[in-house]
Structure formats: C-alpha cells, structure tokens
Homo-oligomer: A and B are copies of this chain.
Amino acid sequence: MTVGIRHDDLRRRNRAMVISAVRRGGQTSRTGIAAITGLSHSTISSISSDLIAEGILAEARNEPLALKRGRPQVGLTLEPKAAVVMTVVLSLNFLAATLLDYAGEIVAEEQRRLDTRAMPRKQLIDECVAIVRRRLDDRKREGRRVLRIVLAIQGITDAPARAMLWSPITPHTDIAFADILEREFSVPVTVENDCNMMAVALRWRDPERYKDDFIAILLSHGIGMGLVLKGELFTGTHSSGGEFGHMIHRPDGALCRCGRRGCIEAYAGNYAIWRNARMMGEDDEPVDDIDEADMRTLAQVARERDGPERQAYRKAGEALGFGLGSLFALIDPAPVAMVGASTAAFDLIEPALREAIAKTAGGHHSTSISFDTEPDQMALLRDGCAMRALTFIDNDIFASGNPAQMELAAGHEMA
C-alpha cells in the first residue's frame, strides 16, 4: 500500500513541479508556471523565491519575455552552478564520459576506444572508474559538487538500475557498477539500458512527436528498444526489459547472438543481414563486429540489384514488421523512431516491414504509422543520460528543501 501523504510532501511535490516547468519551458515567468501547474500565484511566488534563495533557480534579467503593456514578466531559469552531473556511456569498444551543469550544458567530455570484448572483468571496471575519476578531477568542474552519475550500458540492466546483468559487449555478467562507483566516489549512481536513455532523449528533444507513447528501436549490430507508454519509461519487472530484439520471430529459426533461435535480432541485426546477404547458413555463428563501411557497401549493392543482399534486407524488414505487429497487439500502435547508423539502409527495410505489419492484428492502420530515423545514437544516448541525471536531482534532491541535502549540494568538495 502506498504511504499516506504528509504535509511536507505537499510542498515537495509543488517545488518539483515548479522546477520541472522551468526545465521544460526554458525561460518561464512565474505567471506562466502558475498557469501550467494550476497553483495560485501566491504559491508560485513563495516557492520560486525559496528556490532562488537556495541557488536552484535564477532570474534572467537580461531579455524580457514579451513586449507588451504591463509589468514585464521576469523569466526564471535553472541556475547552472546549482550542480553538476556526469554521464558515462559504455558501448562495444567505446567508453565516454560527459560532465554537464545543472542547466544541461556540457562542461567537459572524454571519449576512448577500447577492446571491451577481450577485456578481463577487472580491467573493464577499472576503465570505467578511471574515466569517472579523470572527469571528476577536471578543473572545469570548478569545485561544483557532482550530484549524480548515470551510466548507460548496451545490454540488460536490473530493475533498480544498480547493475549490468548481461551485455553483448563483454562476456562478463552481473557487474554491480552502481555499487562500485558509489563506493569509489560517494556519488549516487544508476545504471541504465542504452535504448531506454535514447527514448528519454527523444522525448526531451521533440516532445510534440514523442509525447506519451512511442517506441525507439535501435538498428545496429543487435536490435534494441526503448519504450515510453503513458508518459512513463517502460521497463521489465526485474530487468530493464523491453528486449524487442529477442522476441521470437520464427520458432526454432535462425541462430541468434544470444545463443537461442529465431529471435528478431537473428534476422534484423547487422550480423544477421550480413549472414543472409553472404548466403551463409542460418545456423552459422554470428560474426563479432561488422565495419560500418561494409554495411554501407552492402546496402548500396542491395539498392542496385535484386540479389541476396536485397533479400537479406527484406528478411530484416519482415522480422521487424511481424515483431512490431506483435508488440502493437499488446500496446496498440505508436510512433516509431528508428535509431542508429543502420537506419541509413531503412529504405531497404521499410517496404517489407510495412508489408509484414499489415498482416498483423496491430497493423490495422499500418500506413498511418510513422517511422522516423535518427542516425546519431551517441548524441541521443548522452542527452538521455543527462536528462535522467538532472531530473533525478530536480525531483529527489532539490524538490525537498531538506537543509542537509542542500548543504551537500553546496559543498565544494566530496567526502
């Protein structure tokens, strides 16, 4: 049973609402916030003066919001110096860390290539710890306390966002990154699934198109998905869930990277398209990594002539289409964003995809389903992590005007 609502919860929630309104709206006046939240002007006035005094919001005295009669609106903005967050992205052979201020501006960045698949467990962990340490020591941080680290991992994470359970980028499993980094740096950490963070980013980037319900599908070596339903990120009950790529397309079908058979990924992942285009057997062990240039060449050949290459893309489209059809049977159709470098070949995939989806129960209005493509997954990923970290600070730290918490945030060095 949910716990009863106390009096102080009330203030906390309304503070959170004010912060959220400013984060969404950019520069927003008190009157605007009152309109959005439905709270009275007096309440907004009281809360915002508190937040300004606490150094969370700031008044943007420079540019007036509107040129009309009457007292001009004073825009409220997020105070960049209020906090700093760090995002860490761990993908196949790639590690990146970014430091951002409270307003979401990038303060410092670092990217590295490394051979994640060959690394021993300890070295993989140490690389992550090291990159975090270097960015924490970055002088551009200017002593502002890092209040949150969000680590996005390609693979499955656990439901409390504490650990990586399984990942295609390493043979090792069950790495409790959150515990490890928290022990090391005394900053709260969460570990998130990469596709989920992409979905979060899409929502912030284009709230018109990606409103309350949409699907982000990553077309890459493997197939991933981030799902937002009713305004909430959809996750599994025990894990990050949403493993669209491992729904079954054909029972006992092609061999998947996960060791099982017939998964959607075993038809639509880069390795599967490659395998089919090269007319290898469906039982052949998936190759480890395919150069992006090779995939581009493959797509070009498929565009030029009707051969096994074009067939391979057709099979990918078919798998994705039937998979989406099954998904739509569960959740109803929703806008779809195709993310990743392989979306460059989406023109080869789409016809078969639409054909397949039209054969399914969820495909009722298959022509009206929109597919957008977004090739740059890394930028999306970083933005998603940043918003995840910042909204955590908004809701769980700054919303409760708890003096102890605030002091921590203001502290110039960490424990």
A74–B327 CA distance with the chains assembled, in angstroms: 50
A258–B360 CA distance with the chains assembled, in angstroms: 10
Does A263 make an interface contact (CB < 8 A)? Answer: yes
Chain B: minimal CB distance from A15 (Å): 10
A237–B229 CA distance with the chains assembled, in angstroms: 7
A258–B247 CA distance with the chains assembled, in angstroms: 22
Does A361 make an interface contact (CB < 8 A)? Answer: yes
Instruction: Assess whether B236 is in contact with A331, with CB atoms less than 8 Å apart.
Output: yes
Instruction: Assess whether B37 is in contact with A258, with CB atoms less than 8 Å apart.
Output: no
Instruction: Assess whether A13 is in contact with B5, with CB atoms less than 8 Å apart.
Output: yes
Contacts of A239 in B (CB 8 A): 332
A331-B237 contact given A1-B37, A251-B249, A361-B243, CB 8 Å threshold: yes
Contacts of A252 in B (CB 8 A): 359
A187–B380 CA distance with the chains assembled, in angstroms: 49
Instruction: Assess whether B3 is in contact with A241, with CB atoms less than 8 Å apart.
Output: no
Q: Which of B213, B242, B249, B333 contacts A330 (CB 8 A)?
A: B242
Q: Give the one of A24, A238, A261 with max B CB within 10 A.
A: A238
A25-44 with Cβ < 8 A to chain B: 36-39, 43
A24–B333 CA distance with the chains assembled, in angstroms: 36
Q: Which of B237, B246, B260, B334 contacts A230 (CB 8 A)?
A: B237
* Interface 1/0 per residue, A285-299 and B, CB below 8 Å: 000000000000000
Chain B: minimal CB distance from A42 (Å): 12
Does A369 make an interface contact (CB < 8 A)? Answer: no
Does A62 make an interface contact (CB < 8 A)? Answer: no
Chain B, residue nearest A356 (CB):
B251
Chain B: minimal CB distance from A241 (Å): 6
Contacts of A318 in B (CB 8 A): 251
Chain B, residue nearest A265 (CB):
B361
Contacts of A402 in B (CB 8 A): none
A346–B17 CA distance with the chains assembled, in angstroms: 51
Contacts of A73 in B (CB 8 A): none
11 A-B interface contacts by CB (under 8 A): A1-B17, A159-B332, A229-B237, A237-B331, A238-B332, A243-B361, A243-B362, A246-B329, A250-B251, A252-B359, A326-B326
Residues on A facing B (Cβ under 8 Å): 1-7, 10, 13-14, 17, 20-21, 24, 36-39, 43, 159, 212-213, 229-230, 236-239, 241-244, 246-252, 258, 260-263, 318, 322, 325-327, 329-334, 356, 359-362
Q: What would 13 more interface pairs be, CB under 8 Å, given A243-B330, A246-B361, A261-B359?
A: A1-B20, A2-B17, A4-B38, A229-B237, A241-B332, A244-B330, A246-B329, A247-B326, A248-B322, A249-B251, A251-B318, A263-B361, A326-B326
